Structure 1
Amino acid sequence: MPSRVHAILVVRPDGRAPAAFHLRRTLAALEAQHRRVDALTIVLCGGDESVRQLAAASGAESVITTTGSTRFAAATALATIRLTGDAVWLLAQDTAPEPEALARLAGALELAPSVAFVAPKLVQWDDRTQIVSLGVSMTTLGRSMGLSDGQLDQGQHDAEEDVLGADVRGLLVRTDAWRQLAGLDPALLGADEGLDLGVRARLAGARISLVPTALIAVAGDGAAGVPAGDARRSRRAFAQRTAQLHRRLAYARPWAVFFVWLAILPIALWRTVLHLIAKHPFLVVTEWGASALALVRVGAVARARGRIRAARRAPWSQVAPLRVTRTDLRERFDIDGEEAVAPVGEHIRGDIRFFSGGGAWLVLAALVISVAAFPALLAWPVLGGGALAPMRATVAQLWADAAYGVRAAGLDAIGPADPFAAVVAVIGSLWPGDPSRAIVLLWLAALPLAALGGWFAATRVTERSSLRIVAGAVWMLAPTFLAGLAQGRPGAVIVHLLLPWLFYAGAVAHRSWAAAGAASVLFAAVVACAPSLAPALVLLVIGAIIVAIASRAGRGVARQIWVLVPAVVLFAPLVWSRLRSGDVWGLVADPGVPFLGDRVGADPTGRALLAAGFPTSDPGGWSALLAGTGVPVWWVPLLAAPVALLALIAPLTRRWAAGVALLVIAAIGLSTAFVVVGIAVSSLQSTSIPLWPGPALSLAWLGVVGAATVTLDSALVPRLRAVRSLAAAVAVIAVAVLAVPTLATMTRGTPPPLANGPVSTLPAYVDAEGASNPDVGTIVLTPLSDGGVSTRIIWGGSETLGGQWTVAATPATATEGDTVVAGITADLVTSTADDVIDRLAAAGVGFVLLTPAATPETDAARTFRLMAETAIDQRDALDSVGATPKGELWRVTGAVQPRASATEAVQTSAQWIAFAQIAVILAALLLAVPTRASRRQARRTPRIVGPYVQEER
């Protein structure tokens, strides 16, 4: 065996446990060796007085002190100049060898002269039956692979000797080989140091051998190797990826180095997608950090290649046989597949039973009800009325409306789009040939989609199929949802359709990144459709984070925080724009077409109706149905009482925690409705429009229905299941009675706000012109009842749903563009200004439209209309197109200048904003994509959220 062994012990006190605690055991283990080391050099990388005292009392031939940032490779390089023996033993403060370890390592090194170094078996610090490392190899792409990491030591690997590399901790290296190979590569940042040393030794013509009978206990938080533990996985991943990229550049053939370097960023992008699909988002930052570092460390790569070149005596074919192949990966590392079994005693979720449990029948029944309630929609090409408007003609125009830049309304309006425009673009893209028809189909499918969402949301609350059907039916027949459908409020309808899915994914967002990704996209869509819900939803997320910190020691908090990220990124440009203008309240404005409609007031009567779940002054439409009959309607709100009473009992059941949580959701939703009903930030033709409380009531209804389901599921013992069935039937029948007038509105012949079309809000002549020129401008003048005028400028062939802009509908103060438009309007309806048409043409406006006043037309409105019509007719630069169903139309006869486009700086900003938003949404969607691993993990957790005990279904 080697005549002299010189041990290098590196101490760096940055681990989880005090360095002195580990160092004391390691020094004692060195003293207990059957074959004692001949010399010991300790390198202290920082440390306190206790560490220095231990080092001084250790009998080491020298103690080298350096800074705390010194890594293991640099520390060993400092001690190399003091080497005096035939072999060097590499140790850290957390590597405690068993008494016979050095004797067996030295014996194996002596018996094999062709071996450059030998490696021990590393075991857990407090459990020698668990293998930490015994041999390391790498794939063809350079990824390091531990050959036995994490396995139970049953002697199954004790016959293995020849390997490509090993963990650097505990290596016994021949001194001449150590000097020839120039020690460890400091550019590896502590990862794969033993593997790299083994590769270079192979290329130098030597071998590497394992000594499985030599055991060394390691704690995983010393100076050598990568840090262990979940808390340090980001640091570990960064070091490992940095080492892999560095080795890839160092090992590449000379002609391929530049191409490998060029491929670093494209590969980082591809691996980002893979990390997100694999539900490892924390690796994305480390991936890009390691890639950026690899790009700039040209000198480190040159030095590494110089080391290899100086010591190389053998071809690369010596390394290839010891690499890990795809077959090895499948046989050795990827043995866990779909057959993986959950631990004993762990809940394994059963089938969801959508078809066998009646969910499909519920959706089919809802579709029949929808067709019966809205039969005219089967023939309508465009849905109009209420807060609805036509869609853009092409998908490209839909997404242009969703981007930062020139807006579809206003003289020179440039700014961020409402996030609601992106939701509209998604819906329109589902029917690319005719996007407007997508809204018609959405209205037809709304009831079955609501039933489907309610049914799936109920799967988080109960395993009973019958109660899932009850929850789905009650959710579908919610008064606020039907009011949104009848009045044509797309934002409220979409929110009601998305909320159960947000509950379905958000309730388990702490469990997996797949659920967190799905919940984040749904959260952003809900807030985009109803910004007034943002405070309530953010409050619920914060509450969930607090619960995670208190009850789960913070596990899953990162996933729950991610739920907010896409919404923050989508709203950031609009928030910044609003803050700069000083109009913060405008952020909560209802997106889409401003519409007053029937709604409750902020008086006590209105708030009482809100408490009963009605957003309109006519509860459920019963006042209109019973008009003229003399039958009172005071009893109508009582029909919501059965569901409410069941919900209030939930905290008294065995599942009181779930009941309380759902009632908190209901309380937050109801409180939000009480607040928003008294806030008016939008206006339409000088009329203030309060926020629509429907989305907040939908959130409250979600909590009430969930709590009622908890009561029905767990409040009664099995022998009283007949009472459960009776209570559920009463609740469903009561809600169904509430829905009758609204669902029968169209079949009774009562004209609802919903209407067939229009295809365009402008005359057909302008619509035809706008089809070929989307930048054609029309100034629209509408006489008001008080004798004033409302003016707006519309670009393209029509006012569209996605082209609406809440900034224009909620002006805090008049902008410069508003002042210009007001001046043009005043000059246009009088005969005092001769250049007004030239100003219109210079701004890109080619048409003037004088629309009828609201009916009944007042004398003041009629007087203004006639005066304006006379004044406009006298303009020589205007050609009268004539009367149209939309009003009197004139065309500018002179040359109309193109509309002013955004500046280059604005376009650059728009590109960066679009890139950031698309990247975040794409990341969320990739996280939401289910994988085999995520499905396997999901099957190991209960579908129900919270403690659940079921006696029978």
Structure 2
Amino acid sequence: MPAPVHAVLVARSSTAAAARLERALDAIRAQSQSVASLTIVVRGDPAPLHAAAEAARANRVIASPERTGFAGAVELAFAHLPEGHVWLLDDDSVPEAGTLAKLASALERQPSVAIAAPKVVRAGDRRRIASFGVTMTSTGRTVELAQGEYDQGQHDRDDDVLGADIRGMLLRADVASALVPDRAMLGADEGLDMGVRARLGGRRVSLVPDARIAVWPPRQTPQRLAYTRRVAQLHRRLAYASPLSVAFKWLGLLPLAVWATVLALLAKRPGRVAPEWMATFTVLVRLGAVARSRRRLRAFRSGSWSQVDALRLGPAQMRERQQASDDPRRDNPDKLEFFSGGGAWAVLAGLVVSVAAFIALLTWPAMGGGAFLPLRQSVADLWRDALWGVRPEGLAEVGPADPFSTVVALLGTLWPVAPSFVLVLLWLLATPLSILGAWFAATRITARPSARIALAVLWGFAPPLWDALAQGRPAAVIAHVLLPWLLFAGIAAHRSWTTAGAASILLAGVLACAPSLAPVLGLVWLIGLIVAISARRRRIAHVVWVIVPSIVMFWPLAARQISRGTPWALFADPDAADFAHGSAAAVAGGVLNPASWATLFADLGLEWTAVWWAPILLAPIALLALFAPSTRKTWLAVVSLAVAAAGIATAVIDLGSRLSLVDGVRVAVWPGSALSVAWLGAIVACAIAIDGVRRGRRALAAIVIACAALAIVPQATSLHRGDTTLYSGSDTTLPAYVSAQARADGEVSTLILTPLADGSVEAKVVWGTSETLGGASTLEGTAVEVSDDDVAISQLAGAIVSGSSSTVIDDVRAAGITFVLLREQASPGAEQRVMALTAQASMDQRAGFARVGETPRGVLWSVEDDPSPRTGMSAAETTTAWAVGISQGIALLVALLLAIPTRRTRDEARQKPRLIGVSTESREERTR
């Protein structure tokens, strides 16, 4: 005689609970095989469901706390069930009329079957399978054997499986009490866990394809769903482990969370990171639940794990499933055409122009002049300067490094044999790299080859770039090279985590090189965020992330500047130096230094000093840009022109902002970076205009390229004419004797005294082999108040050069100073010469100093006897250094992992048009 069937229905009490319960009860009453008893477990207040339960004549109604999970509710019901099969349902399950009879028949026909599972389909579309069989990989990850597919009977022959969805399961009477769902699973993988236990007990799970049950999707947020699934997976990992390995697997949960975080970021699913760590900590502290699950598994087990392993999915099977599920559409709607479209030729032309302009650099070991300083001679020292800690300049200065130091460290790492030489390569490759980046940025704007080439070459021939090259501004050159890549990634940041991650790194790099661009780039980001909120609500997190690494990189420096009352100093150049420039009106016209034309004519023997016409060379570009809003891409053109206007306004403001002190003189912020932003906005609008005209695109492109090429003639020829501050440098700014001793002993410090034009002396202390580009700090150059470190250095310098009779050697040794260098200017004034002679005479007469001699860097003295070691960081400062370093490292690592493309992200990118803001229907028209 068939065993009776007892139904357990778990319902959640809510405002819509009664309707859902009545729907499930109607489906139970409509079964061709009636149930022997019905137990309803209500999670929450049972009062709203009382009438529906009475109408269904339920045998019992059990109230449980609202937080009770499905497994916990079923466990409460099992205490009251008589002997028989047990049918598990919830109020979101609607079984078809013959489902119970077919499940019971499967149990009666096959004595080895402990669990009969129906085909679970979507209630909204019963043609689609919601779940039909579950298994796991060799590492324990849950895999749905059929999910989201149209039901065409393709899986109906799959009978023996490892597990199944718990909704609608029918448990055999003799094993039902041993296969009670485990409440430690938190509502996920319960059916899989029951199937594993059944398999270890010598039984199996059978799928019944003719038995169908419709279900509604779970009422959980994606974060909650990811959390419960990960808890279930980690809990099973410990519950299934052997007694000898369970402790090691428990200890490995935290390293596993780190690895899972890396994989989640590589897969561009950062939403999994928080659930991963929450689940890890949950499982770590639930040792009692793990012990209970292991006891339940051991009590029913009679076989070996080889019975379970036979139904797992191996790596080869997982690859086959992945390949079968891949979207076969691979074609990109827009062809890149880098070679056939002229992009490669434009880059090659840029390289030729660059080499022709700077061919002398090929013999230089390093760059000198302008804002140049050498780089550290080892990669370790480069990255040490980029971290929060004891600064390489000053007596005992401890604090944050400029974000630009990280950029310098990265550049030096690219050429570890001679890091300073990387700046020579940068100067030679700046133009072709700019053209390359701008060409890819143009692929987001237009599909016309002529418009793409125009934008790319105009960016490579940008006057702000060539001004920076001629005047020796490495930070400005790097920012210019990065800006088009920022446009390329940033304008598509809403599309994927890959572009958002790349844009976040590029934005941090641009701001590190040109902090004065923060207002205009912040405004662009804010506009993008508003657009994302209004048009793409599901992509807001992508746009928000773009600014996160920049905030993390700048917050230590910002905190220090704000605490000392100099918040505006955050916008100071990291490579501050004086520079030649014209009036604010000339800068507003896009010309930084109109006098360069007068110098060019003078070198050619022409007496033509009037340069009022220089901005007119850029008039064709401006006219085309103003025409752009009349094309079909009006909104993009308007935004581009607004960015250009904001860039010009920022440049004019920068010219009047004197934030840094160089050689005792306040110097303006370099406006060239803001002009680069203005130029980018203008040429994007220009490219839109060229794209929008029907005829003469190539002629227009040739005209604007010729105008830009003519505008940079003074800068491109400046090195050949000697009209530049650049010269062949070396890897140190200190005498060779100091550098040699510093290489042998890193704790070597040099007090540098530099007489100034007003008769005063500038004093600074440098540790190591040289002053360096990465070791320079805007905190020192923008200080408005004298620090304790400054007071100590000034007192030492004053005592040394004053010629007083007081003894200073003891104070010098206590400060840890090893050498004193009196540096003279190339063309000193009268007061400078007097001060230099006074200081030299004073040093020669003092005891404790040994004159090394005159060097190309100045007059050098060494301190006799060993100086005191340099003061290190305190415990609190060490803690701060670790906290800052870890937070910045994590931010950059997360951004890098997000930016690394994977096969899935590449496939998704191929299915989307490269162009932004153009409908799919007009693709053919765009490419004609």
Structure-2-length-normalised TM-score: 0.95
Q: Among 438, 447, 453, which residue is 1:469 paired with?
A: 453
Q: Among 717, 725, 729, which residue is 1:744 paired with?
A: 717
What SS is found at the alignment partner of 2:698? helix
Bigger mean CA deviation after superposition, 30-39 or 442-451 = 30-39
Shift of 1:313: 2.3
Letter of the 1:291 counterpart: T
Letter of the 2:280 counterpart: S
Q: Which aligned pairs between 1:590-629 and structure 2 lie closer than 5 A?
A: 590-592=573-575, 594-600=576-582, 605-606=583-584, 608-614=585-591, 616-618=592-594, 621-627=596-602, 629=607
Mapped contact 1:56–1:63 kept (Cα < 8 A): no
Q: Distance in 1 between matches of 2:322 and 2:823?
A: 73
Give the aligned partner of residue 725 of structure 2: 753
Mapped contact 1:2–1:86 kept (Cα < 8 A): no
Letter of the 2:699 counterpart: L
Structure 2 residue 51 is matched with structure 1 residue 67: no
Shift of 1:425: 0.9
Mapped contact 2:493–2:543 kept (Cα < 8 A): yes
Mapped contact 1:417–1:805 kept (Cα < 8 A): yes
Letter of the 1:895 counterpart: D
Mapped contact 2:450–2:701 kept (Cα < 8 A): no
Give the aligned partner of residue 5 of structure 2: 5
Shift of 1:827: 1.5
Structure 2 residue 285 is matched with structure 1 residue 314: no
Mapped contact 1:681–1:688 kept (Cα < 8 A): yes
Give the aligned partner of residue 909 of structure 1: 880
What SS is found at the alignment partner of 1:466? helix
Bigger mean CA deviation after superposition, 35-44 or 639-648 = 35-44
Q: Which aligned pairs between 1:76-95 and structure 2 lie closer than 5 A?
A: 76-84=74-82, 86-95=84-93
Shift of 1:139: 1.5
Per-residue CA deviations over 1:510-556 (Å, capped at 9, x if unaligned) read 1122211211111111111111112322222222121112112x122
Q: Which aligned pairs between 1:216-365 and structure 2 lie closer than 5 A?
A: 216-221=213-218, 227=220, 232-337=221-326, 340-341=328-329, 348-365=332-349
Shift of 1:930: 1.9
Identical columns (%):
47
Letter of the 1:947 counterpart: V
Letter of the 1:906 counterpart: E
Q: Which aligned pairs between 1:29-68 and structure 2 lie closer than 5 A?
A: 29-46=27-44, 50-51=48-49, 54-55=52-53, 57-68=55-66
Compared with structure 1, are the counterparts of its residues 52 and 378 closer, same or farther at alpha carbon in structure 2 (3 Å cutoff)? farther
What SS is found at the alignment partner of 2:764? strand
Bigger mean CA deviation after superposition, 573-582 or 834-843 = 573-582
Q: Distance in 2 between matches of 1:490 and 1:390?
A: 11
Q: Distance in 2 between matches of 1:452 and 1:778?
A: 43
Per-residue CA deviations over 1:432-478 (Å, capped at 9, x if unaligned) read 11111110111011111111111111111111222211111100111
Shift of 1:809: 0.8
Mapped contact 1:118–1:171 kept (Cα < 8 A): yes
Unpaired runs of 5+ residues, structure 2, are none
Compared with structure 1, are the counterparts of its residues 20 and 568 closer, same or farther at alpha carbon in structure 2 (3 Å cutoff)? farther
Per-residue CA deviations over 1:681-736 (Å, capped at 9, x if unaligned) read 2111331122111111111211111111111112x23xxx22x2232222111111
Compared with structure 1, are the counterparts of its residues 560 and 18 closer, same or farther at alpha carbon in structure 2 (3 Å cutoff)? farther
Compared with structure 1, are the counterparts of its residues 327 and 861 closer, same or farther at alpha carbon in structure 2 (3 Å cutoff)? closer
Letter of the 1:869 counterpart: Q
Q: Which aligned pairs between 1:572-587 and structure 2 lie closer than 5 A?
A: 572-587=555-570
Give the aligned partner of residue 697 of structure 1: 675
Give the aligned partner of residue 897 of structure 1: 868
Shift of 1:283: 1.8
Q: Distance in 2 between matches of 1:702 and 1:683?
A: 30
Shift of 1:264: 2.4
Give the aligned partner of residue 653 of structure 2: 675
Shift of 1:577: 2.4
Give the aligned partner of residue 377 of structure 1: 361
Give the aligned partner of residue 131 of structure 2: 133
Compared with structure 1, are the counterparts of its residues 797 and 336 closer, same or farther at alpha carbon in structure 2 (3 Å cutoff)? same
Shift of 1:120: 0.9
Shift of 1:237: 2.1
Give the aligned partner of residue 688 of structure 2: 710
Structure 2 residue 756 is matched with structure 1 residue 784: yes
Q: Distance in 2 between matches of 1:631 and 1:896?
A: 57
Give the aligned partner of residue 663 of structure 2: 685
Shift of 1:372: 1.2
Mapped contact 1:467–1:713 kept (Cα < 8 A): yes
Mapped contact 2:451–2:688 kept (Cα < 8 A): no
Shift of 1:823: 1.5
Give the aligned partner of residue 448 of structure 1: 432
Letter of the 2:500 counterpart: A
Q: Which aligned pairs between 1:402-801 and structure 2 lie closer than 5 A?
A: 402-552=386-536, 554-592=537-575, 594-600=576-582, 605-606=583-584, 608-614=585-591, 616-618=592-594, 621-627=596-602, 629-630=607-608, 632-714=610-692, 716-717=693-694, 721-722=695-696, 724-747=697-720, 749-801=721-773
Letter of the 1:83 counterpart: L
Letter of the 1:581 counterpart: R
Letter of the 2:662 counterpart: L
Give the aligned partner of residue 925 of structure 1: 896
Per-residue CA deviations over 1:569-600 (Å, capped at 9, x if unaligned) read 222222222233332222211112x3011134
Shift of 1:951: 4.9
Letter of the 2:192 counterpart: L
Compared with structure 1, are the counterparts of its residues 155 and 911 closer, same or farther at alpha carbon in structure 2 (3 Å cutoff)? same
Q: Distance in 2 between matches of 1:617 and 1:372?
A: 22
Give the aligned partner of residue 793 of structure 2: 821
Shift of 1:666: 2.1
Shift of 1:350: 3.9
Unpaired runs of 5+ residues, structure 1, are none
Shift of 1:895: 2.2
Mapped contact 2:393–2:767 kept (Cα < 8 A): yes
Q: Among 127, 146, 161, which residue is 2:159 paired with?
A: 161
Per-residue CA deviations over 1:874-931 (Å, capped at 9, x if unaligned) read 2111112222222222211132122222234433432343233223222222222222
Q: Distance in 1 between matches of 2:550 and 2:150?
A: 46
Mapped contact 1:775–1:796 kept (Cα < 8 A): yes
Compared with structure 1, are the counterparts of its residues 465 and 48 closer, same or farther at alpha carbon in structure 2 (3 Å cutoff)? farther
Shift of 1:10: 1.7
Q: Distance in 2 between matches of 1:119 and 1:833?
A: 99
Structure-1-length-normalised TM-score: 0.93
Mapped contact 2:159–2:207 kept (Cα < 8 A): yes
Mapped contact 1:97–1:217 kept (Cα < 8 A): yes
Shift of 1:20: 4.4
Bigger mean CA deviation after superposition, 290-299 or 497-506 = 290-299
What SS is found at the alignment partner of 2:117? strand
Mapped contact 2:365–2:730 kept (Cα < 8 A): no
Shift of 1:29: 1.9
What SS is found at the alignment partner of 2:495? coil
Mapped contact 1:784–1:854 kept (Cα < 8 A): no
What SS is found at the alignment partner of 2:310? helix
Shift of 1:12: 2.7
Q: Distance in 2 between matches of 1:123 and 1:31?
A: 20
Letter of the 1:782 counterpart: T
Per-residue CA deviations over 1:267-286 (Å, capped at 9, x if unaligned) read 33333222222222222222
Q: Distance in 1 between matches of 2:309 and 2:404?
A: 56
Per-residue CA deviations over 1:213-268 (Å, capped at 9, x if unaligned) read 1111111225xxxx4xxxx3332222222211211211122112122223323333
Mapped contact 1:844–1:899 kept (Cα < 8 A): yes
Mapped contact 1:410–1:808 kept (Cα < 8 A): no
Q: Distance in 1 between matches of 2:145 and 2:746?
A: 64
Bigger mean CA deviation after superposition, 826-835 or 186-195 = 826-835
Q: Distance in 2 between matches of 1:239 and 1:849?
A: 67
Q: Distance in 2 between matches of 1:538 and 1:59?
A: 65
